[in-house]
Structure 1
Amino acid sequence: MASRVSDDPSTGPVFRLSHRSAQLLHLEAQGLLKRATRKARKADVAATIARMGMLQIDTINVVARSPYMVLFSRLGSYRNEWLDNALADGQLAEAWAHEASFVPAGEFHYHRDYRLGRAGHWAQKLAERTHAEARADMDALLERIRTEGPLMASDFERDTPASKGWWGWKPEKKWLEAWFALGKLMVLRRERFQRVYDLAERVVARWPEPPSAGTLDENTVRAHFIARSVQALGIAPARWIADYYRLKPRVTDAELEPLLAQGTLLRVDVDGWDEPAYVHESHVGLLEKAAANALRATRTTLLSPFDPVIWDRTRALELFGFEYTIECYTPAAKRRYGYYALPILHRGRLVGRLDAKAHRSAGLFQVLGVWLEEGVPLSPALVEGIAAAICECAAWHGTPRVAVEGAQPKGLRTQLKLACAG
């Protein structure tokens, strides 16, 4: 049952939602409830990232690099260069957020000034150690960029083998990344997904709206990230909030009381949850729809392993009953679902996973396997939805030939092949 159950004079209206309504509210906040009613436009890229608060960066390119895939899941077919353009045009910035991420340029100053969170982050600690060990070389690199202008790691030629650690990067790449983590360099643009670095002050000076020079205090930054986390998640108990922007320490119900009192957050009770949940004030209309059981999920799509819906494995398990492990870091012999299995979202439920590889030169989208979750019934609507998601993804890649090589349960492979052929 979903309803508005009371009005508390201290916190305002209190709503009660079913678990299913909470799922749908989360997906609508993330832009994954329904198919878009029109073709994607260039401006949709920055708007979608603003809606999520960030877009995590990962370089694995078996199907598509994660940031492009996350956008595809929400926008459908779009042009990948729109993301590159949004960065180069100053609509987006790169920053350490959940992990390395694209963030709205208008919110960059919060990331820039989040000193407490960065202090314990592995990238910050590694950058500080690297600077202590190679201060003269790093200072010389920074001066070269100051004099010559923006540079890429490939602009530094080196005959000696790459070192161990830092993913086998050559020293100059490590130094560039260290200066990026320390805030002296920023990413001006990307070329073939490779970072082009420039001095931070020169990058932000090119933006349509450069960030303020003043430093935000820690409490202001933390309150902003807490509110943005709840807004991006749609609905969340306090213990889910800190992970979104990797806040430390963890967020508690007591810390949220001032945000309730000022109306930034609304308190929600969810059937089966033994703790209160929270919704951002900007979603009050969406909350009322959820309380009236008026949200409907129609989208079927494939998700990146680094999609905000799935990156917090505990949240995905509690909200959707979906247990997910990315297996690209698991030895091949021990993998259950494949190197880079993509969660399948069907009409508001995580129903399975799909392991695929896009062979762009051959125009082939190879589906190595599809696995439905235990208890998910094999229905015509499910087969049609998964097949459509596969074909949509294949077309976006320019790999129109689809080969379904394996699927479980029995009979799914044949049905998917027929649906994709049709």
Structure 2
Amino acid sequence: MPTSDRHELTKDEARRIIVRAQLLDAERPGDVVEVAEQLGAVKIDPTSVIAPCEHTVLWSRIGYAYEPGQLKDVTERDRLLFEFDGAFRPIGLLPLMLPAMRRWPHRASTAEWLEANGAFRQDVLDRLRGEGPLLAKDIPDTARVSRPPDGWSGANQVPTMLDFLSRQGLVAVAGREGRNRRWDLAERVYPADLPDLEFDEAESLLNERRLGATGLARQKSPWTPVGQAGVPAVIEGSTATWRVDPEALAALAEEDDGGRVAFLNPYDGLLFDRPRLREIFDFEYVLEQFKPKAQRRYGFFAHPILFGDRFVGMLDARLDAAARLLRVDAVHEFFPFDDDEREIVGAEIAELARWLGVEVAEA
């Protein structure tokens, strides 16, 4: 039940808070670093039906001014972002993450594998120290104990060891050659003068950053863990207790700018918390990438269409690089668009094609 110490929000207000926190309102951010600082993570995924996830996430926020080379520059040259656990993150988050990294691993099976492969672990560190940065393929697999292939990793144990060492803060991604990561010792990639925080302080600060990036989260959400960050809130129609970012709450007093249209990559962070999508946006999102073709309703990798603070449809489109075309197979409308809505969505499709440097071809 709502009480005096909980902020009461309408669903409209909740959506506005979330959309603003994700930088999808009408006021676009200026650059890659600004996006990463606010979102906390820019997901990396190689699926490239239109463009890889990291690039469409940034384009959907920044717009036409975003160029893919900017991400490489701020990560590899300027070191303002770093790559960790499948995402680009702002370097300011690293001190908040290091205390947890020093406690990793948590699973006994992982700790046992690392202990059994102590010599292999040292081989990898020694080779990086002497020859790094290196691609995984350039490092010999000297593992004594192997983990079986799991669908994500193969028989070669080097990628697994590098991943585990990165989670311990000992190695880091120094850059990329295409989609392949170049690895080096973390001490040569990460800044040397980072503040040293205690675990509890770092976790509290991380919770605040997570809440700032999402705007609003269930207090006990496994999808968006925020602990006691922010202030409690209740939302019309929901019996749960939520946590809301105080700055986002204060911004509700500002005039609503009306929003804009955005096409969201299926791995966009706004889509991650499926229960919140369902409860706040009335949007039951299902990624159809892994469904048999006959069971797909909207397409293999259709992009949800956000119009203002509501999901209005799905864009089923693909880049045909050879023909220099953005092939729009369908724009699925959850409810029939009026003429203005259809024109605005069409203009955003044209803008997407212009950013890709191709023409639009509609089915």
TM-score (norm 1): 0.75
Q: 2:266 aligns with which of 282, 287, 305?
A: 305
Q: Tell me how far 1:32 sits from its aligned partner.
A: 0.5
- Confirm whether residue 17 of structure 1 aligns to residue 6 of structure 2: no
In 2 relative to 1, CA 169–216 (structure 1 residues): closer, same or farther, beyond 3 Å?
Answer: farther
Name the CA distance, whole Å, in 2 between partners of 1:188 and 1:107: 17
**Residue in structure 2 matched with residue 392 of structure 1 by the alignment:** 351
Q: Which amino acid aligns with 1:333?
A: A
Tell me if the contact between 2:17 and 2:248 (Cα under 8 Å) persists in the aligned partners: no
Q: 1:73 aligns with which of 39, 60, 74?
A: 60
**Residue in structure 1 matched with residue 235 of structure 2 by the alignment:** 270
Name the CA distance, whole Å, in 1 between partners of 2:337 and 2:301: 23
The CA RMSD over aligned residues, in Å, is 2.8
Q: Tell me how far 1:128 sits from its aligned partner.
A: 4.3
**Residue in structure 1 matched with residue 145 of structure 2 by the alignment:** none
Name the CA distance, whole Å, in 2 between partners of 1:64 and 1:83: 14
Q: Which amino acid aligns with 2:336?
A: P
Higher helix share: 1
Q: How does 1:2-401 map to 2 (within 5 A)?
A: 15-34=7-26, 36=28, 44-77=31-64, 78-88=66-76, 89-96=78-85, 100-114=86-100, 119-120=105-106, 128=111, 130-132=113-115, 134-156=117-139, 164-165=149-150, 166-168=152-154, 170-205=156-191, 210-212=193-195, 214-217=196-199, 219-240=200-221, 242-244=222-224, 247=225, 251=227, 256=228, 265-289=230-254, 294-373=255-334, 376-399=335-358, 401=359
Name the CA distance, whole Å, in 1 between partners of 2:288 and 2:102: 32
Tell me if the contact between 1:365 and 1:394 (Cα under 8 Å) persists in the aligned partners: yes
Tell me if the contact between 1:301 and 1:345 (Cα under 8 Å) persists in the aligned partners: yes
Quick check: 229-238 or 58-67, which moved more? 229-238
**Residue in structure 2 matched with residue 420 of structure 1 by the alignment:** none
After superposition, what is the alpha-carbon deviation per residue over 1:327-370, rounded to whole angstroms, capped at 9, x for unaligned?
Answer: 22223333222221111111221111122211223211112222
Q: Which amino acid aligns with 1:243?
A: W
In 2 relative to 1, CA 268–287 (structure 1 residues): closer, same or farther, beyond 3 Å?
Answer: farther
In 2 relative to 1, CA 136–267 (structure 1 residues): closer, same or farther, beyond 3 Å?
Answer: closer
Q: Tell me how far 1:237 sits from its aligned partner.
A: 3.3
Tell me if the contact between 1:184 and 1:200 (Cα under 8 Å) persists in the aligned partners: yes
Q: Which amino acid aligns with 2:69?
A: E
Name the CA distance, whole Å, in 1 between partners of 2:140 and 2:340: 55
In 2 relative to 1, CA 136–325 (structure 1 residues): closer, same or farther, beyond 3 Å?
Answer: same
In 2 relative to 1, CA 364–118 (structure 1 residues): closer, same or farther, beyond 3 Å?
Answer: farther
In 2 relative to 1, CA 118–55 (structure 1 residues): closer, same or farther, beyond 3 Å?
Answer: farther
Q: Tell me how far 1:234 sits from its aligned partner.
A: 1.7
- Confirm whether residue 402 of structure 1 aligns to residue 360 of structure 2: yes
In 2 relative to 1, CA 127–90 (structure 1 residues): closer, same or farther, beyond 3 Å?
Answer: farther
After superposition, what is the alpha-carbon deviation per residue over 1:245-295, rounded to whole angstroms, capped at 9, x for unaligned?
Answer: xx4xx84xxxx3xx6xxxxx3444432233443332333531323xxxx32
Name the CA distance, whole Å, in 1 between partners of 2:244 and 2:102: 25
Q: Tell me how far 1:172 sits from its aligned partner.
A: 2.9
Counterpart secondary structure, 1:243: coil
Q: Tell me how far 1:151 sits from its aligned partner.
A: 0.7
Counterpart secondary structure, 1:355: strand
4+ long deviations beyond 6 Å: none
After superposition, what is the alpha-carbon deviation per residue over 1:297-327, rounded to whole angstroms, capped at 9, x for unaligned?
Answer: 3311200112121111111111111111112
Name the CA distance, whole Å, in 1 between partners of 2:158 and 2:285: 36
Q: Which amino acid aligns with 1:173?
A: P
Q: Which amino acid aligns with 1:273?
A: S
Tell me if the contact between 1:24 and 1:348 (Cα under 8 Å) persists in the aligned partners: yes
Name the CA distance, whole Å, in 2 between partners of 1:277 and 1:164: 40
Name the CA distance, whole Å, in 2 between partners of 1:128 and 1:341: 40
TM-score (norm 2): 0.87
Q: Tell me how far 1:185 sits from its aligned partner.
A: 0.7
Name the CA distance, whole Å, in 1 between partners of 2:315 and 2:338: 17
Counterpart secondary structure, 2:306: strand
Q: Tell me how far 1:203 sits from its aligned partner.
A: 0.9
In 2 relative to 1, CA 403–130 (structure 1 residues): closer, same or farther, beyond 3 Å?
Answer: farther
Q: Tell me how far 1:168 sits from its aligned partner.
A: 3.1
Q: Which amino acid aligns with 1:403?
A: A
After superposition, what is the alpha-carbon deviation per residue over 1:366-399, rounded to whole angstroms, capped at 9, x for unaligned?
Answer: 12222222xx232112211221221122221122
Name the CA distance, whole Å, in 2 between partners of 1:298 and 1:285: 18
Q: Tell me how far 1:76 sits from its aligned partner.
A: 0.7
Tell me if the contact between 2:95 and 2:194 (Cα under 8 Å) persists in the aligned partners: yes
Which residues of structure 1 form unaligned runs of 5+? 260-264, 406-422
Q: Tell me how far 1:150 sits from its aligned partner.
A: 0.7
Counterpart secondary structure, 1:114: helix
After superposition, what is the alpha-carbon deviation per residue over 1:131-180, rounded to whole angstroms, capped at 9, x for unaligned?
Answer: 3454433321221110012111243589xxxx843433643333322322
**Residue in structure 2 matched with residue 418 of structure 1 by the alignment:** none
Tell me if the contact between 1:360 and 1:398 (Cα under 8 Å) persists in the aligned partners: no
Name the CA distance, whole Å, in 2 between partners of 1:117 and 1:306: 28
